[in-house]
Amino acid sequence: MKERRWTGPLEKIDDYRWRIPQSYSPGMRVPGLVFADEKLLADIKTDQSLQQVANVAHLPGIVKVSMAMPDIHWGYGAPIGGVAAFDVESGIVSPGMVGYDQNCGVRLVRTDLTVEDVQPKLRTLIASLFNDIPCGVGMSGDIRISKKDADRVMTQGSRWVISKGYGVAEDAAHTESQGCLDGADPSQVSERAFQRGSDQLGTLGSGNHFLEVQAVETVYDEQAANVLGLHSGHVTVMIHSGSRGFGYQICDDYLDVTERTMAKYGISVPDRQLACAPISSDEGQRYLGAMRCAANYAWSNRQCLMHLARLTFERVFGKSWEQLGMHLVYDVAHNIAKFETHRVEGRDQTVCVHRKGATRAFPPGHPETPEGYREIGQPVIIPGDMGRHSYVLVGTQQAMEESFGSCCHGAGRVMSRSEAVRQAAGRSIEQELERQGIIVMGRGRKGVAEEQPSAYKDVNDVVQVVHNAGLAKRVARMRPIGVIKG
């Protein structure tokens, strides 16, 4: 799709909310709702992501609104930063509304190490992480799985890899859905998808995926930070990766399936990239079974990545990861469809919530929030870019009531990858970041150039909207000190 500025109607509700009226397009079943301020909106309007919000509002069975988080930008079919929920009886499931990298997500690991402890060994640490953790396009890892083991990864998720020595039970307890979605059906996964995933557990991938060593710079909520084990001046590790080629292939397979079968169910969509199938249909159930396999694979992948990072820290600092206090704070998914209970038109209703480039932000007391965090709410992890901050927040009751318990997942791109590479010509992004005290190692200059800080919105602006709109509350802010990328 050629990029064009949004020229459609946008009604201001308040300083952080904007409405695309249902009257904008005759086929819209609900309005659009955009969380942004004036500053972010200027960037959002430069591509067709708002048109995609309106397109999603056409889909059968959608309830309440088609939503956009403040990190929204153009994606395949549906915007990245989009949220939509569908009635389980009349609604659909859409691979494009979930995304190619199913259960791409972020996990945050705290440590007892201070910046002063790490700084003398930082260059060695980053080089060791880069050497120990496979990263880059198509990179394979040392963790190989047979077809029999693959079925267990697909159905048991991170719990199975933990049982094989790649972590401890506490890790699963601090992972969304305990690292496993029920209902995964390996029989709906193609042989090609299995082949692509057979050697990619414990691999970072490329694009915006990263492992980042950070310093806790600012604490906004001391009580919540103490519950999460985050302390000013201490070091954290953030891991961003997903289901790799395995999930990509599953998405590709089912985009074909749903596109071929829409006519069978009398479904028409404004953009064929939003191909979908009724939730209750054979095709819809097949996709959900395969998507859950990809989600479980992604949780297993991030669990293995954390295990490899722990081993590297052990070697560099000469202590066990337990002695270093390397405990998982939380792991959140984005790019996923999940069945949840939400309040719709005054009554509790089970809906299928699609979050594409968006994450859960469940409130205090919610039964799906880990027991140890129920007094503060579910941790929400929002990474920035290599040169700016990342945040930890907690979910709110307002998010539960207004956004299906959802929040944004990052800063959001403002520059295409090709434009970022063009702007990096003649420059060394690595050297520029090193002058800021950030050591970056990537598989190639092009990949680092694509992910330069200026390619993204300022995460501080994005989080300000999230916080002020009441979707999540700030707990702590971290700054990067070392990054590895594909």
* 217: three-class secondary structure by DSSP: strand
* Helix 244-261 and helix 282-317, axial crossing angle in degrees, nearest 10: 170
pLDDT band at 289 (very low <50, low <70, confident <90, very high): very high
4 assigned to some structural domain: no
Question: What average pLDDT does range 336-341 have in this prediction?
Answer: 98
Q: pLDDT over 70 for what percent of the chain?
A: 99
5 assigned to some structural domain: no
Question: What average pLDDT does range 384-408 have in this prediction?
Answer: 96
pLDDT score of 3: 53
Question: What average pLDDT does range 131-160 have in this prediction?
Answer: 85
The sign one gets for the Cα dihedral 334, 463, 371, 308 is: positive
Residues near 282 by Cβ (< 8 Å), separated by ≥ 6?
Answer: none
Average pLDDT, the chain: 95
The parent domain of residue 58 ranges over: 11-485
pLDDT score of 173: 97
Q: What is the 3-state secondary structure (H, E, C) of the chain?
A: CCCCCCCCCCEEEECCEEEECHHHCCCCCCCEEEECCHHHHHHHCCCCHHHHHHHHCCCCCEEEEEEEEEEEECCCCCCEEEEEEEECCCCEECHHHHCCCCCEEEEEEEEEEEHHHHHHHHHHHHHHHHHHCCCCCCCCCCECCCHHHHHHHHHHCHHHHHHCCCCCHHHHHCEHHHHCCCCCCHHHCCHHHHHHHCCCECCCCCCCCEEEEEEEEEECCHHHHHHHCCCCCEEEEEEEECCHHHHHHHHHHHHHHHHHHCHHHCCCCCCHHHCCEECCCHHHHHHHHHHHHHHHHHHHHHHHHHHHHHHHHHHHHCCCCCCCCCEEEEEEEEEEEEEEEEEECCEEEEEEEEEEEEEECCCCCCCCCCHHHCCCCCEEEECCCCCCCEEEEEECHHHHHHCCCEEECCCCECCCHHHHHHHCCCCCHHHHHHCCCCEEEECCHHHHHHCCHHHECCHHHHHHHHHHHCCEEEEEEEEEEEEEEC
pLDDT score of 139: 66
pLDDT score of 21: 98
Question: What average pLDDT does range 281-304 have in this prediction?
Answer: 98
- Is 80 exceeded by the pLDDT of residue 145? no
pLDDT band at 1 (very low <50, low <70, confident <90, very high): very low
pLDDT band at 370 (very low <50, low <70, confident <90, very high): very high
253 assigned to some structural domain: yes
2 assigned to some structural domain: no
> Per the structure block, which two tokens stand in for 459?
């995460």
pLDDT score of 143: 78
pLDDT score of 2: 45
> Per the structure block, which two tokens stand in for 202?
């414990």
pLDDT score of 272: 96
pTM: 0.96
Residues near 385 by Cβ (< 8 Å), separated by ≥ 6?
Answer: 411, 451, 452, 453, 455, 456, 459
Contact 263, 237 (CB under 8 A): no
Question: What average pLDDT does range 347-359 have in this prediction?
Answer: 97
pLDDT score of 202: 92
Considering its fold, how many domains does the chain have in total? 1
369 assigned to some structural domain: yes
1 assigned to some structural domain: no
* pLDDT tens, position by position, 101-125: 999 999 999 999 999 999 999 999 9
Lowest mean pLDDT among 201-205, 218-222, 358-362, 440-444: 440-444
Question: What average pLDDT does range 136-148 have in this prediction?
Answer: 74
3 assigned to some structural domain: no
pLDDT score of 445: 81
pLDDT higher at 138 or 57: 57
CA dihedral of 299, 35, 211, 313, whole degrees rounded to 10: -80
Cα gap 268→61, rounded to integer Å: 13
* pLDDT tens, position by position, 432-469: 999 999 999 998 788 899 999 899 999 999 999 999 99
137 assigned to some structural domain: yes
What are residue 210's phi and psi, to 5 degrees? -160, 165
- Is 60 exceeded by the pLDDT of residue 211? yes
pLDDT band at 426 (very low <50, low <70, confident <90, very high): confident
Question: What average pLDDT does range 222-250 have in this prediction?
Answer: 97
Residues with a known catalytic role = 409
pLDDT score of 394: 98
Question: What average pLDDT does range 64-87 have in this prediction?
Answer: 97
Question: What average pLDDT does range 341-365 have in this prediction?
Answer: 97
Contact 301, 331 (CB under 8 A): no
Q: What is the domain-level CATH number for residue 190?
A: 3.90.1860.10
